[in-house]
Amino acid sequence: MADQRPNIIWYCTDQQRYDTIHRLGNEHINTPNLDRFMDTAVTFTHAHCQAPICTASRSSFLTGMYPSHLRNSRNGNGSVSSDVEERLITRLLAEDGYDCGLVGKLHLSGGIYGREARADDGYRFFHYSHAPRTDWQRRGDYYEWIEEQGANADDVLAQFDARRRPRREDDMPQGGLWEPTADEDNAPPELHQTTWCTARAMEFIDEARDDDRPWLISLNPFDPHPPHDAPWEFYRRYDPDTLPMPLFRESDVATQNQISDAGVDFQTRSHHPSHWGFPKITASYYGMIELIDEQFGRLLDHLEATGQRENTIVIFASDHGETLGDHGLALKGCRFYEGLVRVPLMISWPGHFEAGVISDALVELTDIVPTLMDATGVPVPDDLHGESLLPLLTGDVPAGEHREFVWSEFADCINLPDESRATMYRDRNWKLVVYHGNDIGELYDLENDPDEFENLWDSADHASVKAELVLKSFNRAVMAANLGPDRVMRY
């Protein structure tokens, strides 16, 4: 008998902030396909990642567990921990009859040089591309695809080759603005890695399967991750002079560098946003997202044309955000500002989930796994940190109700000497950040200070609020601890 469970498209961008959707209030960016997708989806405006860094976040949202519990928090790790491997939703779905595929990044282990140590992850169809570089040992499927299109991949991706583009003294660690012109472009749209992701995904969708076997395809383009290198066709659509500057006060430089000097790692030190090249960088960042929007729309149109839209859950999300000049910072690291930990999240299944609903419920990316388990009939383990969104998606609970708080962590996530550890506890009105091992932290009144400028950590008037949140945050950390093997006997 044919398996009637839903297919799944999980589209995950890299380093996309929550405030980059036109229909959600950003009048400066063009996202017509995401705007259109919202008509069929439940859109979450307060979805938060569980770590503001790739490997920790991806390990978390692919398992429904917090990064520290999984022992897989560091970018650059040499292998995938067994705690992640055993709980990967793609592995569990594959074992339950799903045909699973991946295109683009995975990043459950270190991806430098274009090669990543894989676990038993459940992916049969696997077309891997981390950063679209040409100067790494393993050039991979994306490089070969460019050649198949009749182009020279080394020339198309020249901007990623450190041998052909020497590092400038003022570059960000991952590259700042690589500004294209009509004559000297970055990778053009038709040969872009984001376009390749769509092409390979459509190949997977079109494959014949016995007994209508359900499938899952995970798309993971590298964009809008730095370097900020939008193709000319998309970069030229944004006039930097019309774009707002990042959230910034002159006092931010001293405040942020005091945190860094105390031993809290970040990929950049704070400067006036113009030092990094804003708002030109914003123009490129928005151009990269508009190309994603175009390709996401192309994928939805193909799904519709093949008659599979009605039986497919489509998820659009990102792994974490980007400071994008806020508070004088660029890139990411051990901070928990909304631009870093709050991400897009939209979920659609026509005829099964609510359509056109905008929810301001507090949501974690850990909630995606139990939601998919509920929707596909896979048993949900009792110890998951994620909480299924299914009652909210089906309209059985009000759109604004889900969690009382969200949680995020940082545990030696980036290759910097301080090996920082920190946690964030955020409820509807307050955000508490503790930088562990450093006698500093942050407390923000989000109702009156949504842009997180006024740190109340040392405010005597807020000492009782701080104490209450510290206790709640500590309780969350203890209750999320990894207890090891299951108990199977009395003692």
Is residue 374 within a helix (H) or strand (E), and if so which, with residue range? helix 368-376
Name the nearest CA neighbour of 318 among 7, 103, 18.
Answer: 18
Q: What is the pTM of this model?
A: 0.96
Looking at residue 439, its pLDDT comes to: 86
Looking at residue 228, its pLDDT comes to: 94
Question: Where are the alpha helices (H) located in 134-240, listed in sequence order?
Answer: 140-148, 153-156, 193-206, 232-235
Looking at residue 165, its pLDDT comes to: 59
Question: Where are the alpha helices (H) located in 277-332, listed in sequence order?
Answer: 280-305
Listed in order, strand segments (DSSP E) in 53-105 are 99-104
In one-letter notation, the amino acid at residue 224 is: P
Cα 199 from Cα 343, distance rounded (Å): 25
**CATH code, 7-403:** 3.40.720.10
Which residue bears the tokens 């990642």?
Answer: 49
What is the pairing mode between strands 421-427 and 405-411?
antiparallel
Cα 56 from Cα 196, distance rounded (Å): 26
Local structure of 271: helix, strand or coil: coil
Contact assessment for residue 420 and residue 404, using Cβ atoms and an 8 Å cutoff? no
Cα 54 from Cα 105, distance rounded (Å): 10
CB atoms within 10 A of CB 450: 12
Could you tell me the CA-to-CA distances from 441 to 56, 118, 423, 461 in Å, in that order?
A: 21, 36, 10, 16
Low-confidence ranges of the chain (pLDDT < 50): 1
Looking at residue 1, its pLDDT comes to: 42
Looking at residue 170, its pLDDT comes to: 60
Bridge partners, 343 (sequence order): 47
Q: In what order do the strands lie in the sheet with 357-364?
A: 123-128, 99-104, 215-220, 7-13, 312-318, 342-348, 42-48, 357-364
Looking at residue 181, its pLDDT comes to: 93
Domain-by-domain residue ranges, the chain?
A: 7-403
Q: Is the dihedral of CA 175, 181, 186, 192 positive or negative?
A: positive
What is the pairing mode between strands 7-13 and 342-348?
unpaired
